[in-house]
Amino acid sequence: MEAIADAGLARSIGLSNFNQRQIQRVLDNCRIKPANLQIENHIYLQQNGLVKFCKANGITVTAYSPLGSKGIEKLLNREVPDLLDNPVVKEIAQRQERTAAQILLRHLLQRGIATIPKSTNAGRLRQNIALFDFELTDDDMAELNGLDQNVRICDFGFFPGPPDTMEPVSTALVPFDAAGTAATGPFEGPSTLICSWKAAYRKSRKAGALHQYVSRNGAAASIDASTAGR
């Protein structure tokens, strides 16, 4: 990835689904610091320790699944919590005269986290970017902060990854520790940089295991472990 950046083909290097220990390993060995970490983040998985660590190291954070990824249920074959239906969120939405989605997204922004909600609906897309003409009060923020349950929705259990590179993933919601992704969580494998995961996937499949791909190519060319089994 550093060679790609040196060649002017990438402006920045990003990480996804890294825990604190994995980021530290990158920081200890890199020449070009990662610019951003993309992780699951929402009211039920606030990952404050990990976010704080990133900020202290000049790494911006992007939240995926900010609205709780309801659409992922079919893929996971299980129910996921409905963040938009949370009574605290709904009450704040009513008081602020905003939608529940706008409250969830604004909460992330006020925590200093960028976010990438997805919608297939033009009206909801417009709604999801109309976040800059209102502000959550300190009380609103405290209430939303208090909803953290350390519960992960997108646990990647649907990827049949090589068993020696992915930690076992529960079919239930996976709790994680306060420092971010737990050491025993599903991302303990050699997860790494957002790059051409398709190429890495092809190679990892050919090699039979992601760690072989990583060891042959070095950490800088590896890939998010969550997609390794695809």
User: Given the rule CB under 6 A, which residues bind ligand NAP?
Assistant: 16-17, 38, 64-72, 84, 99, 101, 116-121, 124, 127-128, 154, 226
Largest CA distance in the chain: 56
For ligand NAP, give the closer residue by CB, 66 or 162.
66
Angle formed at CA 174 by CA 191 and CA 221, multiple of 5 degrees? 5
Which C-beta is closer to ligand NAP: that of 100 or that of 214?
100
Closer residue to ligand NAP, CB minimum distance, 22 or 69: 69
- Shortest distance, position 40 Cβ to ligand NAP, whole Å: 7
Integer Cα distance of 175 and 158 in angstroms: 17
- How many CB atoms are located within 10 Å of the residue 97 CB? 8
Minimum CB separation of residue 118 from ligand NAP in Å reads 3
Least distance (Å) between residue 119 CB and ligand NAP: 3
CB 83, min distance to ligand NAP, A = 8
Q: Which is nearer to ligand NAP, 44 or 213 (CB)?
A: 44
CB of 183 to ligand NAP, least distance (A): 19
Q: Which is nearer to ligand NAP, 69 or 86 (CB)?
A: 69
**What are the phi and psi torsion angles at 11 (to 5°)?**
-80, -35
